[in-house]
Amino acid sequence: MSGPSDFQPTNPALRWIERRLPIFGLMHSSFVAYPTPRNLNYWWTFGAILSMMLAVQILTGVILAMHYTPHADLAFRSVELIVRDVNYGWLLRNMHACGASMFFFAVYIHMFRGLYYGSYKEPREVLWILGVIIYLLMMATGFMGYVLPWGQMSFWGATVITNLFSAVPYFGESIVTLLWGGYAVGNPTLNRFFSLHYLLPFVIAGVVVLHVWALHVAGQNNPAGVEAKTEKDTVAFTPYATIKDLFGVSCFLIFYSWFIFYMPNYLGDAENYVPANPGVTPAHIVPEWYYLPFYAILRSIPNKLAGVIAMFAAIIILCFLPWLDSAKTRSSKYRPLAKQFFWMFVVVCVLLGYLGAQPPEGIYVIAGRILTVCYFAYFLIVLPLLARIETPRPVPNSIADDVLAKTGSKAAPMVSAVIAIMVAGGLLVGGAQSARAEGGEVAPPAQKWSFSGPFGKFDRAAVQRGLQVYKEVCSTCHSLSFVAFRNLADPGGPGYSTAQAAAFASDYKIKDGPNDQGEMFERPGRPADYFPSPFPNEQAARAANGGAAPPDLSLITKARSYKRGFPWFIIDFFTQYQEQGPDYVTAILEGFEENPPAGVTIPEGSYYNKYFPGHAIKMPKPLSDGQVTYSDGSPTTVAQYAHDVTTFLMWTAEPHLEARKRLGLQVFVFLILFSVLMYFTKKKVWANAH
Amino acid sequence: MVFCRRGGRGRRQTSRSQWAPPGRFHRLRTRKGLGIVTTASSADHPTRRDFLYVATGAAAAVGVAATVWPLIDQMNPDAATIAAGAPIEVDLTPIAEGQDIKVFWRGKPIYISHRTKKQIEEARSVPLSSLPDPQTDEARVKSGHDQWLVVIGICTHLGCIPIAHEGNYDGFFCPCHGSQYDTSGRIRQGPAPANLAVPPYQFVSDTKIQIG
């Protein structure tokens, strides 16, 4: 539709290039003069939002790859060091990790929009299929990216997903071995996933070019679902569509930023802050929220091969959509029955997503099976049937008629719908992540944390006291291996001076070497050294502690979580009350009881803890009143110790929390101002297009 | 600045600023690249409109600039690298006269030479006028510790590591492109433009230095 451009640059140098490579003409005809239907609503801005998200992911991903180490022994630590040490590393990592969720969030809206308005129908079949291919590539890329931090969920996600291919008859085992590059998921797997994770986004970008090309050949669909016939039906891409898209993008950035700066771990799994352990599978293997509906379909089929086939079929079936739905009317606006079934289908997908996060037992399995049938029935029965029996309402003669028939007030509900959907989507995914947490135990009592909320800061005195508790009590068994002595003088931390941090370090004996004689030796700690581990290796830690190695505490407040339950997980999203498990850590420290309640037997060598899942914990009661002497006169009670050491451990887990929230506030003020400006600019530009 | 009021092909005609016929209009508009045409402001609220576009554009520019900074700053050394570059102490007692050792500080090789009387004499007897990068030997060592030469062992030509006790001047010889340094680490011959750099260091005792 764009046709050859008559564009000629005025600048002679550009004209010289244009004669030899008509790139400016191509750009001009594709992104400036290209006619877009004038009745597009804000659902159409998600194409631009997705382009931006792809660019953001590639940019931040290339940068993260500059600092990441793709090795099974080093990957987890390198990701932590990116967050802790690289300048703005925390920002880049959050942008990339939350960006994946935002990317999928936007693509789902984009896909549902296509579904609702019939954007897959003739002549846009190839455009639609290219979109499905992009979606498949995104899923592969997202999965491999999730493996790279090499946490527990990474490792076991990789194990479970690669094992899907073992369902293939005859060749299954060989395929899986080929994917792993070994006898199990290991270093070769991580290396190839890193390589492919770097490659696939560029493949996506290539298919996106084809997608846009196909779009520009067929022209955009629009809410009325009638083709643009005359020039009255369209407006130029620039400035009309560009300004509208940019306004959409700026609004989306506000939503995205909330996650980056305030809730970076809301969508992640606490388990992935535990380094990969090939010997222990987490209690619940749950994929990232964006795979949950398909995971639910996989699990609802009792046969292994059939489950895998059903899961892939649920995606592949989208490719056949243009032929399954043969109705002539495109837009569901004019299809009373299709519209209702569309919303039912949306509900089915959301419920499948919810079920994907639940344990595969009891009512969840039955519900999963019913919804799986509903999912496929929508494509295989409802849509073909509707095409035959439904009487659509008359469609407008032209886009111009559609615009004239509409009152100006239509735009406002549209905007509020976008905002509502965004909030609802955020909550839904949050609900899914909350639902996966271990339940069934007594909920830890709520604490007051100085670091919660958008203006949260660490209580310096509490962090210092917590450091003292760690040093005098916890450090006899627990390492703190991601924290260096120099960090004690970092801004936003305990607030010590560089000299104090150096003095603190020099109290420790650090093993160094080899020296010129080839021998290891001990020397006083330096600020650059990390807190030494109490045990030389994991086996020693295990042997000294009744078979259970005390976990490293650097990340413990993010690596432990518990079921917050409704409505708390919704309220948490706005209040930023805690990021994962500070309440849980405090509760564990306070939850020891001498005598277990009647009917509970605790095995030899374990201790009763009210809040520990299963109640039998290998750690003896670590704190008792008066054990640590505070110099600032704070009460020397277990409750105070627990609160202080948890505050300290929240700082070790999120050392840049204060900087993050401070920058977040600045970004928010800017983005809201910018969006308001964009809104009025968009209104001005469009003033006489309506 | 006024956004073109008649953006696309066949847009509804507006009542004002008919300054170009529709056919030509397209070309005129696009000459400015983004469809923004500079022309006299039109009747209603010209200043408010101008202000809005300028403000939005400026805000966008500020936003982009602020976003670019973290993307560049991440390339600077990270906190762990900076911490690892802290000063180091070197014990000089094992280095006999005429010997030298190589230690690493901030990833750079540092030559510590225990110079003989003859070497010091050689370094000090050269007339400054004959040096490509004139500098006295006294300025390159710590007074009272004249026998100790501490230099960064990186050729000032293109970063190779010169070999000690080689070349025509009893100092350092760079095998890459043939630069030769004397017993004070000063460039004497070859393509290197400057003397071997002296790192920041001080004597904490007669037999111990702190580099950095």
pLDDT at position B27, please?
40
CA distance A22 to B125: 69
Tokens describing residue A541: 């830690």
Tokens describing residue A340: 């209702």
Contact A10 B31 (CB under 8 A): yes
Question: From the candidates B71, B73, B105, which should be mutated to test the interface with A, based on the most A CB atoms within 10 A?
Answer: B71
Q: How far is CA A330 from CA A43, A71, A115, A121, A220, in A?
A: 16, 50, 9, 7, 12
CA distance A590 to A582: 13
Of A87, A231, A486, the CB nearest to B73: A87
Contact A263, A454 (CB under 8 A): no
CATH 3.30.420.10 for the A45-285+661-690 domain, yes or no: no
CB atoms within 10 A of CB A132: 18
* B95-117 pLDDT per residue, tens: 999 999 999 999 999 999 999 99
CA distance B80 to B89: 19
B192: left (phi over 0), alpha (psi -120 to 50) or beta: beta
Query: Following DSSP, what letter does each residue of A416-455 receive, concatenated?
Result: HHHHHHHHHHHHHHHHHHHHTS--SSPPPPP---TT-STT
Q: Is B80 exposed, middle or buried (0-12, 13-18, 19+ CB in 10 A)?
A: middle
Contacts of B70 in chain A (CB under 8 A): 87-88, 91-92
Comparing CA positions, the residue from A5, A238, A680 lying closest to residue B7 is A238
Question: From the candidates A8, A56, A86, which should be mutated to test the interface with B, based on the most B CB atoms within 10 A?
Answer: A86
Chain B residues near any Cβ of chain A (below 8 Å): 3-5, 7-12, 14, 26-27, 30-31, 34-36, 49, 52-53, 55-56, 59-60, 62-63, 66, 70-71, 73-76, 78-81, 83-84, 86, 94
Contact B34 A528 (CB under 8 A): no
Contacts of A527 in chain B (CB under 8 A): 83, 86
Among this protein's residues, is B177 annotated catalytic?
A: yes
pLDDT at position A407, please?
53
CA distance B77 to A19: 45
Of A67, A684, A689, the CB nearest to B49: A684
Taking 70 as the pLDDT cut, the residues of chain A under it are 1-5, 407-441, 690
Of B9, B79, B86, the CB nearest to A85: B79
Residue boundaries of the structural domains of chain A: 1-33, 45-285+661-690, 295-392, 460-483+530-655
Contact B78 A526 (CB under 8 A): no
List the single residue in A with minimal CA-CA distance to B51.
A681
Question: From the candidates A28, A39, A58, A238, which should be mutated to test the interface with B, based on the most B CB atoms within 10 A?
Answer: A238
Phi, psi angles (nearest 5°) of residue B164: -75, 155
Of B27, B81, B84, the CB nearest to A6: B27
CA distance B140 to B157: 19
Helix ranges (DSSP H) in B41-116 = 46-73, 79-84
CA distance A396 to A334: 10
DSSP class of A265 = T
pLDDT at position A565, please?
74
Helix ranges (DSSP H) in A562-602 = 568-575, 582-590
Comparing CA positions, the residue from A523, A505, A504 lying closest to residue A513 is A523
> Which one of the listed residues B26, B145, B157, B177 is annotated catalytic?
B177
Domains of chain B: 2-73 (no CATH), 81-211 (2.102.10.10)
pLDDT at position A433, please?
52
Say whether A460-483+530-655 and A45-285+661-690 share the same fold. Answer: no
**Residue B36's beta-bridge partner residues?**
B3
A–B interface: beta-carbon pairs under 8 A: 121
CA distance A166 to A178: 11
pLDDT at position A568, please?
79
Q: Which residue has the tokens 């297009």?
A: A689
Ranges of beta strands (E only) in A124-278 are 234-236
pLDDT at position A427, please?
60
**Residue B189's beta-bridge partner residues?**
B180
Contact B7 A240 (CB under 8 A): yes
CB atoms within 10 A of CB A423: 15
Question: What's the topology of domain A460-483+530-655?
Answer: Cytochrome Bc1 Complex; Chain D, domain 2 (1.10.760)
Contact B74 A92 (CB under 8 A): yes
CA distance A555 to A269: 13
Contacts of B78 in chain A (CB under 8 A): 67, 81, 85-87, 89
Contact B70 A91 (CB under 8 A): yes
Quote the minimal CA–CA distance from B134 to chain A in Å: 37
DSSP class of A484 = B
Taking 50 as the pLDDT cut, the residues of chain B under it are 1-43
Tokens describing residue B207: 């037999």
Identity of the amino acid at B150? V
pLDDT at position B35, please?
41
CB-based contacts of A23, cutoff 8 Å, min separation 6: A17
Contact A32 B34 (CB under 8 A): yes
Strands B180-182 and B170-173, sheet pairing: antiparallel
CB-based contacts of A361, cutoff 8 Å, min separation 6: none
CA distance B114 to A496: 41
Q: Sign of the CA dihedral A434, A437, A442, A448?
A: negative
Contacts of A232 in chain B (CB under 8 A): 10, 12
Phi, psi angles (nearest 5°) of residue A147: -75, -30
Contacts of A684 in chain B (CB under 8 A): 3, 49, 52-53
- Report the SS3 class of residue B78: coil
List the single residue in A with minimal CA-CA distance to B8.
A236
Helix, strand, coil % in chain B, rounded to nearest 5 = 30, 20, 50
Contacts of A63 in chain B (CB under 8 A): 71, 74
Tokens describing residue A164: 């899907």
Contact A591, A608 (CB under 8 A): no
Question: From the candidates B11, B34, B64, B103, which should be mutated to test the interface with A, based on the most A CB atoms within 10 A?
Answer: B11
CA distance A28 to A569: 48
CA distance B57 to B51: 10
Task: Round to the nearest angstrom and report the end-to-end CA distance of chain B.
Answer: 57
